[in-house]
Structure formats: structure tokens, C-alpha cells
Amino acid sequence: MELWLGLGYVDTADLVRVAVACEQAGVAGVSMSDHLVRPGRLDSAYPYSRDGSIVWEPETHWPDSWVAIGAMAAATTTLRFGTGVFVAPLREPVALAKAVSTAAEISGGRVVCGLGSGWMREEFDVVGQDFDSRGRRLDEITEILRKLWSGEIVEHSGPHYRFPPVQMVPAPAVPIPIWIGGNTPAAMRRAARHDGWIGAFGGLEQARSDLQAFRRVEAERPGPTSPVGAATVGPMRRPEVLRGLADAGFDAAIVPIPMLTRGRGVDAWLEAIERAAALAQEAGLGTPA
């Protein structure tokens, strides 16, 4: 199992320095989080807090994930990059395909495209995207991404999106894995059709149970299919927890960087990276070659 760091809450100007430090420390990869805006009025409940309230401050940075990944990739050589998760139904899919393929090209194939359907209705309203159809549109968006990333002349005519024959260049030289985030049955079914699943960590026993549920969904897929990866994201601070996740069969644990420090700012992030490297070593995860 690999240890990744989630870079949500890191100030945009610090991201490149943090990415370089992660690579030097032997961290396998880093994951970006995603929001377009923070609505002035928010009635939607945040699904990952006890009372439904959001857990970040108003001044928290939410840079564009793919712009940030391109910048970090240009300053590194082995570190891998992902999104955990990028809310694809907020975006127009052709432009999204272009952004991801460009980041993949700059990185030399070190990109994982983690996608989710989103939870904040008000954010969808801001950009004029329908909230209630977001799951169905996510399914169609992933189909469009695969088509455009082929580098061939392709066209699409679906219930939500359509375009005439086009070709997208650059096409990724290495296939871009698509991972789907979410603990709901719908998210698990969607993930089983792609390359990986990203679950929210709710404790070791819950993570084991969630992974078993996902593997049952995966086993129900019709026809010959490739194995699907599994990751969990959340506050995993103890080596015995990481060992338990590895034994359960997770491929990656994504620890948000604020979970490893009490401070904020670049010095705190650099200290957290050192703690992450030590945690991985103590858990017996090793470092990437």
C-alpha cells in the first residue's frame, strides 16, 4: 500500500515547494481537492462532518486542480498526482478532457483522475449546472473523457452532451486512470466500472467493511474486467491503522496534510511531510522506487 498526502488547505503559492518536498521525502503521491466557489449562503449539508457544517475557513484556498498539478509536475520527476475528488458535473466535459490530458502530458503520465458527483447544490446553481442529474451526467462525462483521450476522431451524442467529429491533441501517451470517490452504493457501482474507488475513512473497522462492500459490487460486474484499485482518504495518523488498511487490501491511504500538524503555513506543511515519511516507514509501507 502507498501513502499519499492530500494537499487541500495548502496555500496555492506553497504547492510547488510542498510537492518537491513530498518527492524528496519519498511520498508516493499527492491529491488535490476541489471547489469552484464558496456560496455566500449554504444550505447543503456537508456529508463528512457530524453536524453537516463545513470544516474549512472562508479564506481556505481552492486552486484549480489541473493547473496546480501541471505546475507541480513540472517541478518534480517521480511524484504522482491525483484528485480526491474533482467534481466533474460542474464542468463542461470537453474542456475538462483538455485540462486533464494537458496535465498528464506535462507530468509524463503521472496523473490519476479522481472524480465525484459533488454534494453542494448551491455551487451547481452558480454555474448553471443541474444538480439532480449530476450522477447520470458523471457517467456520460467519463465516457466522453475516454473518447477524447484516445487521440482519434470521435463524436458523441448522449442525453446530456453532444458534439460532432473532433480530435483532441495532445492525447495522453499513457492511459489516464479514472477513480471514482464516494461511499454510497451508487458511487461504488460507478467506481467498479472504472479503474479505482476512493472511500472516505471512518475508522479502521468501517474502512474494512466499506472495502468488503465495494469488492462485492466489483464482483457483480458482467464480463471480463480488470481489477479495480481502492483508496481511502481521512485522518490516518497511526502506523497500526495503516498496517490494518494494507492488510485489508487497500492500495493507497490518502492523509490530508493538516491531519499531521497543528500549525498552518509552509513550515508546518514541511514538518507534516517529514511525519508522513516516518509514519510510512514505521508502518512498513516503504518508499517508491
The confidence band for 286, taking pLDDT boundaries of 50, 70 and 90, is low
Give the tens place of pLDDT for each residue, 150-188: 999 999 999 999 999 999 999 999 999 999 999 999 999
Rg (CA), the chain: 18
Query: What dihedral do alpha carbons 228, 233, 238, 243 form, nearest 10°?
Result: 0
- Measured between alpha carbons, how far apart are the two ends of the chain, in Å? 13
**What pLDDT is attached to residue 55?**
83
Confidence (pLDDT) at 256: 96
List the alpha helices (DSSP H) in the chain.
Answer: 15-25, 65-74, 93-107, 121-126, 134-149, 185-192, 204-219, 239-248, 266-282
Q: For a pLDDT cut of 90, what percent of the chain falls above it?
A: 89
Residue 3 has pLDDT above 80, yes or no: yes
- Neighbouring residues of 47: CB distance < 8 A, sequence distance ≥ 6: 119
Three-state SS at 272:
helix
Please check the confidence at residue 102 and state whether its pLDDT lies above 60.
yes
Kindly state the DSSP code that residue 14 receives in the 8-state scheme: G
Q: What is the mean pLDDT of residues 24-33?
A: 96
Using DSSP's 3-state secondary structure scheme, residue 12 falls into: helix
Helix (H, G, I), strand (E, B) or coil at 107: helix
Q: Which of 61, 68, 66 is nearest to 88 (CA)?
A: 66
Instruction: Count CB neighbours of 156 within 10 A.
Output: 17
Q: What domains are there in the chain, each with its CATH number?
A: 2-282 (3.20.20.30)
Predicted local distance difference test score (pLDDT) of residue 288: 43
**Mean pLDDT, residues 200-229:** 91
Q: Are strands 162-166 and 154-157 parallel, antiparallel or unpaired?
A: antiparallel
Element (H, E) at 80: strand 80-83
Q: CA 284 to CA 286: how far, in whole Å?
A: 6
Q: What DSSP assignment string belongs to 159-172?
A: SS-EEEEE--SSPP
